[in-house]
Amino acid sequence: MSEVLDRAHLIGIGGAGMSGIARILLARGKTVSGSDAKQSRAIDALRVQGARIEIGHAATNLDDPSAVIVSTAIKETNPELAEARRRGIPVLHRSAALAALMTGHRVACIAGTHGKTSTTSMLTVALQHCRLDPSFAIGGDLNESGSNAHHGTGSMFVAEADESDGSFLAFSPWVAVVTNVEADHLDYHGTVDAYVAVFDRFVERIEPGGLLVACADDPGAAALADRAEASGVRVRRYGRTTSDVTLLDHEPVDSGGLARISLAGKEIELRVAVPGEHMALNALAALLAGLELGAPLDGLLEGIAAFGGVRRRFEFKGFAGGVRVYDDYAHHPSEVATQLRAVRPVAEGRLVVIFQPHLYSRTRLFAREFAEALSLADEVVVLDVFGAREEPEPGVSGALIADAVRLPREHVHYEPSFEKVSVLVADLVADGDLVLTMGAGDVTMLGPELVAELDRRVG
């Protein structure tokens, strides 16, 4: 399989998963080409490393690749994919390419409906702090390195494992972490039962003698752990309830938190530099996985304390006019609620949320749940749906969510015009407020725009 990747062409090379594969291939001395619909920071970085990248998709972009790598988002009608099929060039799914890169390593895969990017990142930084230099592939850029992937000199490979399209079934980890299992991606899986079942199949992929790390507090992950244990898989649990590592207490400190945990009969202090009890739980998952990989406890604790976060996970965007602006990737009702609860203690004034729904199917299925979560804020602005891979659905818009938010009407705003949002929010906020842009789409662009608008008014 490794020879097949000697001259790889990646369609959609600027995406989070694809750019990570390209980085590792380049670091291993492979020839990399690719294409994407638009220019991006990731593409600039890959070009500096030596990748040949075209903006726009065309059959002529294919030179003489040994393989073409695609994600589920790439349709068969893509001219480059169609040309690869016509010429008989091997076509690999992104997950198969990543699995090939894992060969020869002891692999840790982090999965779950929520929290997998942060947990993968924490584990990676903790192992780096132990001077183990793991290879890694993550769905977000580490704040420490600014990168989402790395070819390390160590024997370990840490990867975020994506359940959205079942692609994590390509991996065979030594350590599998499942942070939670809650209905999502039903546009692909169809039913909740099918979504749950794919996690059971993922656990079956654990190497003989390997370990499942699961959250005991989450009903879906806890049930998965019980089924795995009954089938003979080694399991270690973490959570607030008595587990292999237990969160005894969590106190917000500055922009992070201080946790008191119990591990192997000892009480230990654990510092987490990012806010929220849910981040402390992610840290426990990373801790158990790191211990299983052979890393020293003290080094892991120091590494977790040094973890500075991931791009788009409560990422600070700026301060202007007495207002702090942050950005977050939360795009599922549980993620939105969890993040708002975590942010509340660090908000000096009101908590103002700009939320962009992601996918028409998710908006239709979870509109009321999103509204319930957003009701935890003081002021809510809902944008229109970021459709991503989906076509619009009649009657499905951000208004479905805005209309159901349980706040006084004057504190809920549906604004379908992206261009008007920064001015609208600048009119709403006051000194001491905290603004949080949320969603998996281009809402991330609004943070800098809002800071600039507030700066303009102050100036």
* H helix runs in 67-142, sequence order: 79-87, 94-102, 116-129
Q: Does residue 30 have an active-site annotation?
A: no
Cα-only R_g, the chain: 22
Q: Does residue 160 have an active-site annotation?
A: yes
Per the CB < 8 A criterion, the answer to whether 396 and 363 are in contact is yes
Determine the Cα–Cα distance for residues 199 and 193; give it in Å rounded to an integer.
10
Per the CB < 8 A criterion, the answer to whether 24 and 46 are in contact is no
Helix H, strand E, coil C: the string for 44-82 is: HHHHHHCCEEEECCCHHHCCCCCEEEECCCCCCCCHHHH
Determine the Cα–Cα distance for residues 6 and 28; give it in Å rounded to an integer.
9
Q: Which residues contact 391 (CB under 8 A, 6 or more apart)?
A: 360
* Options 117, 119, 120, 437, the catalytic residue: 117
Determine the Cα–Cα distance for residues 271 and 250; give it in Å rounded to an integer.
10
The DSSP 8-state label assigned to residue 273 in this structure reads S
What angle is formed at CA 309 by the lines to CA 142 and CA 288, rounded to 5 degrees?
Answer: 95
* Options 113, 120, 160, 292, the catalytic residue: 160
Q: Does residue 116 have an active-site annotation?
A: yes
* Options 116, 179, 317, 415, the catalytic residue: 116
Catalytic residue set = 116-117, 160
